[in-house]
Chains A and B, each alone.
Chain A
Amino acid sequence: MAEDQVDSRRRNFLWGVASGLGAVGVAGVAVPFVGSMMPAADTMAVSTTEFNLDTLVPGQLVVIAWQGKPVFVVHRTEPMLSRLKEYEYKLKDPESLADPRVQADWMKTTEQRMTRSIKPEHLVLIANCTHLGCIPLFKPSPGRAEWGSSVPEDWPGGWHCPCHGSLYDLAGRVIDGSPAPFNLYTVPYKYLSDTKILIG
């Protein structure tokens, strides 16, 4: 090869090696920077929340914070639970099978998939609408008497999202015709005693 000729094979090889290593370097630098934006150790340390269930009266809803996110805890009464079955034909996903996020480890029986709770009377769910994240309003009594035209005439009681009108029944299952794609998401929780749960 003459002195003044360019050996483009060698040059391309060097380009490949240099830019490949450069890309590895950039990726390596990105790890700490992106990593720093993930939850810090002290944030992770407060990732569980305890809740005392005997502070609830039957039929009451409270919204508590878990990892900074709102969580619904409802004490459901017998009439509330009995109404769950009557409305099933209008639900998108009555047995909570559509998505991993609507399921939980403890959902062993069909009964638990429908009531969506370990013990039927205590419902614990993420309080954000699965559509775009607003907190739905709790409208537990059936029919339009208390809620007017914001709910359908055969309203079984449940949640109504003020943002885009999604409707959920009293097990947080989304009613057909809502913009929300899924039932309200489940939260990992367990009973520490008969009246105390640990969320997270």
Chain B
Amino acid sequence: MVIEKMLNSRLAQWLDERSDIVKLTRAHLTDYPTPKNLNYMWSFGSLAMLVLTIQILSGIFLAMYYKPSAMMTSGGYSVAFDSVERIMRDVNFGWLIRYMHAVGASAFFIVVYMHIGRGIYYGSYKGPRELLWIIGVVILLIMQGTAFFGYLLPWGQMSFWGATVITNLFGALPVIGSFLQELLRGGFAVGDPTLNRFFSLHYLFPLLLAAIVGGHVHALHVVHSNNPTGVDVHEGKGTIPFHPYYTVKDAFGVGVFLILYCYVVFFHPQLGGYFIEVDNYVAADNLQTPSHIAPVWYLTPWYTILRSFENKLLGVIAMGASLAVLFLLPFLDRSKVRSARYRPVFRQMVILFFISVLVLGYCGHSVPTPTLKLIGQLATIYYFAFFFMLPFVHKFEKTRPLPEEI
């Protein structure tokens, strides 16, 4: 009603004649036909956009006080480390904005991993949504890059040694390895030039992300939303306008999310060392590695895949492949049925896949022991086996009958 009035107002009409703003709003927001049976797993897309906004906003304000310099100060720390501590102690609400940003990074990955998991479970990657899925994988990679660059900025022990380990990974590649490594570091070891360029890229990548998210949403609106049954319901029966039903449903999801997010931000911003690692409150020391070093939780599954191989190059290749294979997912799966609800074999496979990713994550965060190494290797095997089995599943899988309509 109110929206309808706003869209029919003279100002909106004046703008519409010059920009199509009302037509676009109707086509992509208010009247956009949406399957009527979306469950709460479909809330994570809009939540991801919310967290991206929180990250960009809090990041802009942090950049007003953060100083990317590894130069030593008279206090014996570095300019970058001290500027982060200044944000925490002296800047008005600096503690709040920094915790919003640090917790936001983890929240972003939680939300996006749920979003990806939903896409895999309900077969949202399958035709005609292949490109939509591929753009999504690009978004995931840029997010991981952004998070990695951002983690160096406080210039603590975990920042420094994390960046040392990851830049060394690139050094393991044949022929171009050492070139890539120096290109990333701007020196012979992680140092002041590295910190400066990581800050530059940490500011650039989210802007790329925002643009690509625009492409992701556009691609979605061309091929339309999938739904829990995986049955095509594009127009008419089976769909309802996005507004007000899904705007309200998404707003409810936002409310629940914000309650959890604020609880963590205000009461457990480091979440026991999972969101901000304890060792990162020790200033970077290039002559001493912390006793236990692991990436932040959202990168640990891939870290375990890396550790599972006893050959350095193989490990690096496997880690790269574990992410690259996501691009191929739409083409590996040949089944005509999308949703795991109607694919009994695929459903078992995909649940086991989610468990294997969780196991990989747990192993990557723990101190390496022989037992955990074996478990990590088994999980790695299943991670890849999932993708190798996909092209053959449809040959013997007896799918359950699809509903005529939803």
How does the 8 Å CB contact mask read for A1-39 relative to B, with 1 for contact and 0 for none? Answer: 000001010011001000000000000000111011110
A71 to chain B, nearest CB (A): 24
Contact of B89 with A32 in the complex, beta carbons under 8 Å: no
Which stretch, B92-100, B199-207, B366-374, touches the partner chain A?
Answer: B92-100
Listed from nearest, the 8 A-B pairs whose CB atoms lie closest are A32-B93, A41-B90, A42-B90, A40-B90, A35-B92, A40-B91, A36-B93, A35-B93
Size bracket of the B interface: 10 to 19
Q: What is the chain B residue whose CB lies nearest that of A33?
A: B61
CA distance A41 to B94 in the complex (A): 11
Q: Tell me if B1 counts as interface (CB < 8 A to partner A).
A: yes
Q: Tell me if B345 counts as interface (CB < 8 A to partner A).
A: no
How does the 8 Å CB contact mask read for B55-81 relative to A, with 1 for contact and 0 for none? Answer: 001000100110000000000000000
Contact of A36 with B90 in the complex, beta carbons under 8 Å: no
Binding site for A on B (CB under 8 A): 1-2, 57, 61, 64-65, 86, 89-94, 96-97
CA distance A40 to B92 in the complex (A): 6
Q: Which of these, A6, A8, A33, A37, contacts B57 with CB under 8 Å?
A: A33
A33 to chain B: which residues have CB within 8 Å?
A: 57, 61, 93, 97
> Can you add 6 more A-B contacts, CB < 8 Å, to A15-B2, A35-B93?
A12-B1, A32-B93, A33-B97, A38-B92, A41-B90, A42-B86
B94 to chain A: which residues have CB within 8 Å?
A: 36, 40
CA distance A87 to B326 in the complex (A): 83
CA distance A6 to B92 in the complex (A): 48
Please indicate which of the listed interface residues A15, A31, A36 has the most CB atoms of chain B within 10 Å of its own CB: A36
Q: What is the chain B residue whose CB lies nearest that of A25?
A: B258
A17 to chain B, nearest CB (A): 12
Q: What is the chain B residue whose CB lies nearest that of A18?
A: B251
Please indicate which of the listed interface residues B65, B90, B97 has the most CB atoms of chain A within 10 Å of its own CB: B90
B97 to chain A, nearest CB (A): 6
Q: What is the chain B residue whose CB lies nearest that of A31?
A: B93
CA distance A116 to B92 in the complex (A): 36
Q: What is the chain B residue whose CB lies nearest that of A32?
A: B93
A28 to chain B, nearest CB (A): 11
22 contacts between A and B (CB under 8 A): A8-B1, A12-B1, A12-B2, A15-B1, A32-B92, A32-B96, A32-B97, A33-B93, A33-B97, A35-B92, A36-B61, A36-B64, A36-B65, A36-B91, A36-B92, A36-B93, A36-B94, A37-B64, A40-B65, A40-B94, A41-B89, A42-B90
